[in-house]
Structure 1
Amino acid sequence: MTNQISSDVQNRLQWSLLSLRLGVFIVMLMWTLDKFINPGHSARIFEHFYGISGSTDIVAYILGAIQLLLVIAFVMGIKKRISYGLFL
């Protein structure tokens, strides 16, 4: 008895996983762009939800840049174990 998946099921699974990855990428990209477009919003989020006050625009830009690198690594499948783990 073999545990091989038929090529049709494998093809549909690959397309489903790609669609899921692209959907998550779009959502995370919007959150990332928000840090660059409206850094004051990020400062208010940090203060309200995390209790971190005094955050500057520079902090939002740095976090946005790090998040952008992670989002790109995630969607391109670079270092999957690391990028997926950090994404979660």
Structure 2
Amino acid sequence: NNLFTALGTVAAILLIAFFSLRYYTKHGEGMNVPDLKGKSIEEAVTILEDLGLRYELDSVYIMDRTPGIVIEQNPDPETFVKDNIKVSF
């Protein structure tokens, strides 16, 4: 009788842990990062803010590139990420 109670308790704890972790980590929820390359800084910021994504801007001077245009980003375009991720460009 005690063995069944113990096994039932362990099974209940495992089920609760499994389903609560799925909820806590938002398993399967997220979005694809938009392609910002070639867009103006203002346009990229608007896109990210509309999607609810945070961003970090790093600027460098490259002689043969148009100023104010996104040339690189991290994470890469179309990468599946969780909500509220920070996109660097």
Please indicate, yes or no, whether the TM-score normalized by the shorter chain is above 0.5. no
TM-score by length of 1: 0.37
Higher strand share: 2
Higher helix share: 1
Give 1 or 2 for the bigger CA radius of gyration. 2
Pick 1 or 2: higher relative contact order, CA cutoff 8 A, min separation 6. Answer: 2
